[in-house]
């Protein structure tokens, strides 16, 4: 096993342990297959942006995900507020699509973006349980 693979394997185990302890493992285990989720709870904005640049995403998607990184823990923003923040005030539905395709869930906190009507909206990566998962994460962060 190469040195890089050993690190990725250890990061994978660390991420599983963090999610298991926090109670999210059953909901989020699908994300653990990616080695870039090392130290999942302490990735800096700069590190997240650098990792984000490695994915083939459009400039719009990058801008949406970058704006989402600015949402502090325990706070939420609406899809419309994110659209306005990136200079595209009518693109709130496209913001939702960009967040649905977030390549770094949890690290880029797409779960902190909610609907304008007060509903929390859905959460990508899970079939049918997305709303419950999103609500659990937001409750844990103190946002709802």
* 87-132 per-position pLDDT tens digit: 999 999 999 999 988 888 878 899 999 999 989 988 865 556 778 8
Compute and round to an integer the Cα radius of gyration of the chain.
15
Q: Is pTM beyond 0.85 here? A: no
Q: Which of 58, 143, 68 is nearest to 104 (CA)?
A: 68
Q: Position of tokens 């040195």?
A: 3
Residues 6+ positions from 43 with CB-CB distance below 8 Å: 51, 107
Q: What is the CATH number of domain 43-144?
A: 1.10.10.10
Are the C-beta atoms of 72 and 109 separated by less than 8 Å? Answer: no
Active site residues per annotation: 110
Distance CA 105, CA 109 (A): 6
Is the Cα torsion angle 53, 55, 56, 58 positive or negative in sign?
negative
Of 82 and 14, the one with more pLDDT: 82
**What are the sequence ranges of the domains in the chain?**
1-42, 43-144
């Amino acid at each position: 096993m190469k040195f890089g693979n050993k690190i990725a394997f250890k990061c994978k185990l660390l991420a599983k342990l963090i999610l298991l302890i926090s109670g999210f493992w059953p909901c989020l285990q699908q994300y653990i297959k990616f080695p870039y989720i090392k130290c999942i709870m302490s990735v800096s904005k700069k590190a997240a942006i650098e990792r984000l640049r490695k994915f083939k995403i459009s400039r719009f998607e990058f801008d949406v995900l970058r704006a989402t990184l600015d949402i502090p823990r325990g706070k939420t923003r609406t899809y419309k507020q994110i659209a306005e923040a990136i200079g595209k005030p009518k693109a709130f539905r496209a913001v939702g699509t960009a967040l649905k395709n977030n390549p770094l869930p949890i690290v880029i906190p797409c779960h902190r973006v909610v609907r304008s009507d007060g509903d929390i909206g859905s959460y990508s990566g899970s079939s049918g349980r997305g709303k419950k998962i999103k609500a659990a994460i937001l409750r844990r962060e103190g946002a709802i």
